[in-house]
Structure 1
Amino acid sequence: MKDNITRILHWGFACLLLVILGIGFYMTRTEFSPFLYQMHKSLGVIFSLLIGIRLYWQIKHPWKLATLKNKYERTIRNVIHCGLMILFFVMPILGLMCSGFSGFGISLFNLEIVPENFNVDGTVEPINEVLYKTAKFFHKLLAKVFAVLIFMHVAAVLKHHFINKDGTLTKMLRN
């Protein structure tokens, strides 16, 4: 039972994260789309609400990692896993800061959590431009780091599956 919950959490978070990152990278390279920004922010809010469950489960039921004899590979594995877990928390916080301090507020599928900040002219005004720009800078930068860590994680899984043939991927896929 606990292995099934671990799998569901792993693959559920993986899918949600790939959608959020995909939308984020796409929307920063295309014409502004309110729909994409709302979708990205709403999924980010959901992600930030669910991450506590993921962390709790991770602490109560640690990974059954492939045994690595090579100290170098163990270190890389630990850095990647720790990096991913840290970014699970930092990215949503930065995203919420970015949205909140920009004055655009925070909403969950149009359910207002933090209202927009309008000035007397009726345009959105940043609550704190320095914090907004700082959060935005780090949110964008760490999104790239996140993508690299995910790529390294997937590459390591494929190495274990096709080269080491240790059953790591099969364990995460079976019922």
Structure 2
Amino acid sequence: MPLANTEDRYGWIAMLLHWGMAGLLVGLVVLGISMVRLPDVGFDQEKITLILVHKALGMVALAVAVARLLWRLTNALPRFVDGLPQWQEVSALFVHMWLYVLMFLLPVTGWLMSSAGGYPTPVFSWFNAPDLIARNEHLFHTLIAVHRWLGYAFTLVILLHAAAALRHHFVQRDATLRKMIPRA
């Protein structure tokens, strides 16, 4: 299988970026939901650890999103399967656009939120990312809400994307999903 995409299917690099990002994003959503359910009173060590891991993985997701976008902009996309109605082609492009927009907005709003709250944004244990904005308590709380709602929206778009891929595979029985799965 080639590294680069062909007109019929995705290459290894696109598949690695897609499935790696998928696992990372699902992990971030689960981690985000888990950590916000813990009580804020006293901020116990478990919650602080989960927040720091979430931030570090969010920065990794931002780096992978940049790599994905660069790869997508410099690499041909496989064509749609034959016979796909135009409304489904437009829907697919729309959903993919929002996946990319949210892949950038979520980590950036998280980084902004940490900056506004005066909290570090770790890039693992190597260093802390620089603050993007000055400390601002009101903006911090606003960004918490924005980040949360973007997370909900992202979860819905991911579920829509996965449901459409599964529908193509199991109901329509076309090659849409197989284009993104490595051959056995």
Whether TM-score is above 0.5 comes out as yes
Q: Is the 8 A contact 2:116 2:137 kept in 1?
A: yes
CA distance in 2 between partners of 1:94 and 1:37 (Å): 14
Shift of 1:132: 1.2
- Cα separation, partners in 2 of 1:129 and 1:65, compared to 1, 3 Å: farther
Shift of 1:115: 7.8
Q: Does 1:89 align with 2:104?
A: yes
Query: In structure 2, the residue corresponding to 1:28 is in which secondary structure?
Result: helix
Q: Which residue of 2 aligns with 1:55?
A: 69
Shift of 1:112: 4.0
Q: What whole-Å deviation, never above 9, does each CA across 1:102-132 have from its counterpart, x for those lacking one?
A: 111211234441589xxxxxxxxx8111221
Q: Which residue of 2 aligns with 1:40?
A: 54
Q: Which residue of 1 aligns with 2:8?
A: none
Letter in 2 for 1:14: A
Q: Which residue of 2 aligns with 1:75?
A: 90
CA distance in 2 between partners of 1:23 and 1:8 (Å): 22
- Cα separation, partners in 2 of 1:149 and 1:115, compared to 1, 3 Å: closer
- Cα separation, partners in 2 of 1:36 and 1:5, compared to 1, 3 Å: same
Shift of 1:136: 1.3
Query: In structure 1, the residue corresponding to 2:135 is in which secondary structure?
Result: coil
Shift of 1:66: 2.8
Mind listing any 5+ residue stretches in structure 2 that lack a counterpart? 5-10, 41-46
CA distance in 2 between partners of 1:62 and 1:92 (Å): 27
CA distance in 2 between partners of 1:89 and 1:47 (Å): 8
Work out which structure has the larger RCO, using CA pairs closer than 8 Å and 6 or more positions apart in sequence: 2
Q: Size of the alignment, in residue pairs?
A: 166
CA distance in 2 between partners of 1:92 and 1:168 (Å): 29
Aligned CA RMSD, in angstroms, stands at 2.0
Q: Does 1:157 align with 2:171?
A: no
Shift of 1:141: 0.3
Q: What whole-Å deviation, never above 9, does each CA across 1:35-92 have from its counterpart, x for those lacking one?
A: 1101100101111123211110011124325336423222321221110000111111
Q: Is the 8 A contact 1:66 1:166 kept in 2?
A: no
TM-score (norm 1): 0.86
Query: In structure 2, the residue corresponding to 1:168 is in which secondary structure?
Result: coil
Q: Which residue of 2 aligns with 1:120?
A: none
Mind listing any 5+ residue stretches in structure 1 that lack a counterpart? 117-125
Query: In structure 2, the residue corresponding to 1:164 is in which secondary structure?
Result: coil
* Percent of residue pairs identical: 30
Trace 1:135-174 onto structure 2 (pairs within 5 A).
Answer: 135-174=143-182
Of 102, 113, 116, 2:117 maps to 102
CA distance in 2 between partners of 1:84 and 1:62 (Å): 18
CA distance in 1 between partners of 2:79 and 2:33 (Å): 31
